[in-house]
Structure formats: C-alpha cells, structure tokens
C-alpha cells in the first residue's frame, strides 16, 4: 500500500531526528528509493499507484481503491518524501523532478480551477471519482506549500491560496474548527457527519496547518 510506505518513511525519518541511528537512516533511505522508483505510473503524466502487488506489479484495475490513483495519497507521497529527505539531510535535487512530475499530474487532473480536490481517477486519464474529501484537501495544501518553498514558483502559492479558500469556504465554514467529511465539487455537503474518526481528523487538519505555517515561516525567513 502506498500510504503504508509513506507513513512509515515519515515516522522513521522523524524518529531519526530525535534519536539518530544508522538503522533508521538505512530504512528511510530504502523507503525513499522504493517510493520514488516504483509507485509512479509510467507514461501517465504524473499519476501514482495506490497499491502494488507483493512482487511490485500493478494491481489489475477492478474498481477497488487498490487499483486507482488517489490524488490525496499522491500529494502526501510528494510532501512526505521531500520532508523525509530533508530530515535525513540529503539534497533534494535528485528527487525534485520526480516530485514536480507527480505534482503536475495532481494539478492537471486532481484539482479544479476553484480549488476542490477530486478523490481519484484511473491509472491514466482524467478523474472519474469526484467526491471531495477533507483529508485530500489538507494533503494537497501541504504539497503545494512544500513545492512553493522548494521552487519559489508563485504558481504553487496561487494554487495553495485557491485550494485553501475552497476548503475554508465549504468544508470548515462554520468557524468551529470542525471540517465537513466530504462534499461535491461545487461544495455541496454530502455527509451528515464531520470529519472521520477523531484521530484522523486531528492528524490531517492539525498537521496540515502546522506544516503550512512552518513552511511559510521558512520562506519568509529565507527572503528577509
């Protein structure tokens, strides 16, 4: 599973920051190599597999989540790999072209002009699952801020602003801090519930706000 590998990578890299150990560096480095060489879908224009078989083969498309490209997970893949590489104090130049390819795929097929993030699409081609989930919005926001920090390209900052505006207008509109679980691309609420389980809501929303605030602070510091 893509998410298993990327979550493991970020956890190991952060653990190494507080308790440096050559074993953590080796494991994180191996995961970076796997994530940057095996999950990008060839000739797809920047899509990523959401899962692979045990022998690293694509899952045959069958309509299940394992056999589609999930834009929120791809965005999380990009920023988690960038962040882990930084935490290992490795240069980003080697993986920057890879990160920008995946980001281009998300921006072209996974984000509307208004800033709504679609859920998923096939291995190649446009999105066909257009429900907008709160967690995907947050992962795309962190990815866009990370790429703005990395490249200085205002394109990423502008899309960050658009995506943030859509999120706060339609998913977090009542000022309580709770986000609507999912909506359609026009912002119509589709769920009677707030965000998923308490753990997941806190993880995605709070992590997004912290990561974006810290990334913007680093940009401001660099330019001052």
* Whether pLDDT at 155 is above 90: yes
User: What is residue 192's predicted lDDT score, i.e. its pLDDT?
Assistant: 76
Reported as a single tens digit per residue, the pLDDT across 4-61 is 999 999 999 999 999 999 999 999 999 999 999 999 999 999 999 999 999 999 999 9
Reported as a single tens digit per residue, the pLDDT across 53-87 is 999 999 999 989 999 999 999 999 999 999 999 99
Strands 132-133 and 182-183: antiparallel
Instruction: Read off the pTM.
Output: 0.93
| Burial classification of residue 34, based on how many CB atoms lie within 10 Å of its CB (0-12 exposed, 13-18 middle, 19 or more buried) | middle
- Lowest pLDDT segment from 50-64, 135-149, 181-195: 181-195
Reported as a single tens digit per residue, the pLDDT across 96-112 is 999 999 999 999 999 99
Asked if 164 contacts 117 with a C-beta cutoff of 8 angstroms, the reply is no
Please provide the CATH number assigned to the domain covering 2-223: 1.50.10.10
For the chain, how far is it from start to end, CA to CA, in angstroms? 41
* Whether pLDDT at 199 is above 60: no
The SS3 call for residue 168 is helix
């Amino acid at each position: 599973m893509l998410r298993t590998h990327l979550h493991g990578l970020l956890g190991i890299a952060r653990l190494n920051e507080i308790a440096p150990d050559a074993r953590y560096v080796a494991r994180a480095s191996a995961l970076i190599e796997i994530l940057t060489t095996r999950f990008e879908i060839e000739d797809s224009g920047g899509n990523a597999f959401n899962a692979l078989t045990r022998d690293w083969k694509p899952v045959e498309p069958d309509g299940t989540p394992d056999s589609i490209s999930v834009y929120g997970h791809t965005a999380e893949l990009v920023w988690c790999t960038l962040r882990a590489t930084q935490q290992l104090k490795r240069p980003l130049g080697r993986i920057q072209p890879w990160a920008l390819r995946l980001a281009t795929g998300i921006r072209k097929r996974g984000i509307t002009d208004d800033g709504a993030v679609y859920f998923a699409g096939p291995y190649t081609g446009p999105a066909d699952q257009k429900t907008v989930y709160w967690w995907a919005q947050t992962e795309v926001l962190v990815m866009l801020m990370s790429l703005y920090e990395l490249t200085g390209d205002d394109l990423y900052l502008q899309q960050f602003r658009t995506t943030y505006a859509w999120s706060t207008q339609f998913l977090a509109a009542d000022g309580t801090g709770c986000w609507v679980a999912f909506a359609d691309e026009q912002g119509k609420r589709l769920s009677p519930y707030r965000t998923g389980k308490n753990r997941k809501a806190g993880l995605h929303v709070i992590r997004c706000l912290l990561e974006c605030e810290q990334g913007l602070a680093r940009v401001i510091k660099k330019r001052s």
